[in-house]
Structure 1
Amino acid sequence: MKVVAQSASVASGGNWHDETTVLHGDAGLASDASVVAPIHYSATFRAGTADEFADMANTPRHPGFYTRYGNPVHKRVEAILAELEGTETALLMGSGMGAISTTILGLLSAGDHVIAQQRHYMSTSKLFEEVLPRFGVHSTIVDQTDLQAIAGAIRPGTKLIMVETPVNPTLSITDLAAVAELARPRGILTVADNTFASPLNQKPHALGIDIVVHSATKYFGGHHDITAGAVCCSRELAERIWTMHTTLGAVLSPMDAWLLLRGLRTLALRMERINANALGLAQWLQAQPKIEQVFYPGLQSHPQHELARRQMTGFGAVIAFSIKGGFEATSRFVSALKLATHAVSLGGVETLVVHTAAMWAGTMTEAQMQAAGIEPNFVRMSVGVEHIEDLKADLSAALKGDPQ
């Protein structure tokens, strides 16, 4: 059965820059003359004849049959995301973890072996370490910065390697091209979580990765008002993942898909400002006497800076840093911030800050946090689009303990 075309190539031919793709990559999919895409807020769609209904029902990912299968707004967003990531197609889901879990469950079976990173987003780690073993899928967890460890973990039954770069929350980097070179000759699929970079800063598929996943909640939405996930890959893989998606039902609502489409329109503008702000703040933080260490791939002090420069064109919103004085001093610092908002997530227009050890203390053991590189005085900051001097003033006052 033919998969409904999801690539933006009909509109752009792959010749546009990303800044143009986010605005016009879905132009060939317009259903009317509206400048702004309409919201197709319908769970189900009418067929004109019995034959038409049968065709709709038996066409994978049909955008006008039932919204769990697809929706016209989904199709427009998917076209843009596929073009940005350079893949044949894309799938939308209700959250980033929905995208990751559906992808993994759609591609693996009992008896399969997978390789995952020592440092992943917490829920991704739980998927590999706690959930998959219940279904007979075995995982080997390796240090993602050690290619020999990845190569040494490969077995005859290894079917998939999952990577994430930059990694949450320590911002270490995984060599995407090297992982792809290890996997592809052996017929092993590779999946990369590109959430922390975005396709404007890093394109894993161009480096040989088979499947690229995102928490679209972050940069793509850009305004902290939706949860969404995306999978970018070949049409053949997408159909396999979509089949699992219709079973699990992690569906993105038409309204959230429309908000996601609206967020994508300004992605390039926001990323330009965010990249500049984050690099400037990371450099400024390094010079502050109460800062113990700063972790940001754009800094020359980052141990994998040269690798980051090779596979990234920008370094993203997230800065991690440690405060002198331990847990209590870090807690006071985060509580004293006035402009930066104390909240989870990343990639939006507002700057967000979390005390990482405090956030995950209830869901991770001390040993798990140590394995993930989360120290008691660790702060994760997602830099927004505010004026950088105002952000510096807010951080400076909180470091000094001055009232504002």
Structure 2
Amino acid sequence: MNTEERNFATDAIREQYARTEYREHSVPLYLTSSFVFDDAEQARAMFADEISGNIYSRYSNPNTSEFIAKMCLLEGTEDGVPTASGMAAMFSSMIALLKMGDHVLACRSVFGSTHQILNTIFPKFGISHTYADISEPETWESKIQPNTKMIFVETPSNPALDIIDLEWLGKLANKHKLILNVDNCFATPYLQNPAKYGAHIVTHSATKFIDGQGRVIGGVILGTKELIKEIRFFTRHTGPTMSPFNAWVLSKSLETLAVRMDRHCENAMKLATYLETNPDVARVKYPFLPSHPQHALAKKQMRLGGGLVTFEIKGGLDQGRKFLNSLKMISHTPNLGDTRTIAIHPASTTHSKLSDDERAQVGIMPGLIRIAVGLEDVKDIIKDIEQAIESSRN
């Protein structure tokens, strides 16, 4: 069957590295630091990039190559690079393509560590940035400067779950000849494909939904051959390398991504609907709820609403902390995308390095709780949240 005729779930399962002479059904682990050359001429030709092949696992490995091939197929991109972590992917996807004097236009609502890259680390390299608000798309073009090189966004954003119009953004980037870099971690390639709308680079923390079981750390950068060539040069010589074992785990995890995301999204929608009826909840945000400000846009560019729900408890910071301390089943940990439901308080953890004003600007109120909805029976998820809200009143 031609791969163009196959569906997402089939591609995620059937795209595999070539079998060895042992005829294995599942791709084996290649736990080796280097690979042997047939002769001196082959070694010379490989190092000169005249022929392809594995040289050293910091450069490539059959396990990382299979993982990248799958991700490119699922995201609809030409090439990709695996990294040791999601933040290695975010940083490498930017620093490899930027130089001193360049400017980045970024959406204000991004992950806390991405804020640190833009605000604290990039100034050391002479790279500046300007934030733009998702709620004010009419202001974005005016923020583009003569030295702007890249637009960086998250959609849905972390943790506000704001949605950016990727089609509009792709046209804006193309008009000004800018690199559009989209963090697609929350949606995964199953729910959304930014490259279809004009994104040149798509990044992921593979630690999250791609792994899906809280086992390994990893990241991935996907995009056009031209840009990935530059990024590969950077990662090859600076070493944010994904291990073969983690690549093997992540490639196997992709085989269940579709069925897992269906369940994550189904549970999240039911939880969000319940939370809107709870009198202790001031506000609920979930992309596929009709009450979401960008509900129509989310329905247009996403297959389903994702596995994250945020809500604000009326009692603010104090009741929020009591709520977290009252949970009995749901985990309290900074990860997300796990089989197990996870709760976190962004203002005091993932975005604690931001000022009160900076948090307010991206919708992170003192009582905001982020729920990464897992695969448990949704009745048990709701029951635990309900009893924790009741306990937090006291």
TM-score (norm 1): 0.93
Where in structure 2 are there 5+ consecutive unaligned residues? none
Q: Counterparts of 1:194-209 in structure 2 under 5 Å?
A: 194-209=184-199
- Distance in 2 (CA, whole Å) between partners of 1:144 and 1:31 is 49
After superposition, the CA RMSD in angstroms is 1.7
What's 2:126 paired with?
Answer: 136
> Displacement of 1:361 after TM fit?
6.7
| 1:61–1:70 contact (8 Å) kept in structure 2 | no
Superposed CA deviations along residues 67-121 of structure 1, whole A, max 9, x for unmatched, are 1111100010111100110011221100111011111111111121210111111
- Distance in 2 (CA, whole Å) between partners of 1:318 and 1:61 is 44
- Change in Cα spacing, 1:118 to 1:286, as seen in structure 2 (3 Å) is same
SS at match of 2:298: helix
Where in structure 1 are there 5+ consecutive unaligned residues? 1-10
SS at match of 1:399: helix
Is 1:302 the equivalent of 2:306?
no
Letter paired with 1:256: N
Is 1:175 the equivalent of 2:165?
yes
What's 1:107 paired with?
Answer: 97
- Distance in 1 (CA, whole Å) between partners of 2:350 and 2:113 is 11
SS at match of 2:140: helix
- Alignment partner for residue 381 of structure 1, among 360, 371, 384? 371
- Distance in 2 (CA, whole Å) between partners of 1:106 and 1:20 is 33
What's 1:230 paired with?
Answer: 220
What's 2:242 paired with?
Answer: 252
What's 1:3 paired with?
Answer: none
Letter paired with 1:245: T
What's 2:207 paired with?
Answer: 217
Superposed CA deviations along residues 258-278 of structure 1, whole A, max 9, x for unmatched, are 111121111111011111000
Superposed CA deviations along residues 133-189 of structure 1, whole A, max 9, x for unmatched, are 221112111112322221111122221111110000010111111111011132111
| 2:334–2:350 contact (8 Å) kept in structure 1 | no
- Distance in 1 (CA, whole Å) between partners of 2:251 and 2:70 is 9
| 1:95–1:228 contact (8 Å) kept in structure 2 | yes
- Change in Cα spacing, 1:120 to 1:111, as seen in structure 2 (3 Å) is same
- Distance in 1 (CA, whole Å) between partners of 2:184 and 2:93 is 14
- Distance in 2 (CA, whole Å) between partners of 1:253 and 1:173 is 33
> Displacement of 1:247 after TM fit?
2.3
Letter paired with 1:52: Q
- Distance in 2 (CA, whole Å) between partners of 1:226 and 1:12 is 32
> Displacement of 1:395 after TM fit?
1.1
- Change in Cα spacing, 1:42 to 1:346, as seen in structure 2 (3 Å) is same
Overall identity of the aligned pairs, in % = 33
- Change in Cα spacing, 1:60 to 1:184, as seen in structure 2 (3 Å) is farther
Is 1:46 the equivalent of 2:36?
yes
- Distance in 2 (CA, whole Å) between partners of 1:221 and 1:156 is 40
- Distance in 1 (CA, whole Å) between partners of 2:130 and 2:52 is 37
| 2:320–2:368 contact (8 Å) kept in structure 1 | yes
What's 1:242 paired with?
Answer: 232
- Alignment partner for residue 284 of structure 1, among 274, 292, 298? 274
Residues matched between the structures, number: 391
> Displacement of 1:52 after TM fit?
1.1
| 1:147–1:179 contact (8 Å) kept in structure 2 | no
> Displacement of 1:340 after TM fit?
1.0
- Change in Cα spacing, 1:20 to 1:361, as seen in structure 2 (3 Å) is closer
Relative to structure 2, which stretch is displaced further, 143-152 or 67-76?
143-152
What's 1:8 paired with?
Answer: none
Q: Counterparts of 1:2-401 in structure 2 under 5 Å?
A: 13-26=3-16, 29-32=18-21, 33-59=23-49, 64-360=54-350, 362-401=352-391
- Distance in 2 (CA, whole Å) between partners of 1:364 and 1:141 is 14
Letter paired with 1:371: Q
TM-score (norm 2): 0.95
| 1:61–1:69 contact (8 Å) kept in structure 2 | no
- Distance in 2 (CA, whole Å) between partners of 1:394 and 1:25 is 39
> Displacement of 1:378 after TM fit?
0.6
- Distance in 2 (CA, whole Å) between partners of 1:243 and 1:147 is 34
> Displacement of 1:14 after TM fit?
3.0
| 2:284–2:310 contact (8 Å) kept in structure 1 | yes
- Change in Cα spacing, 1:61 to 1:203, as seen in structure 2 (3 Å) is farther
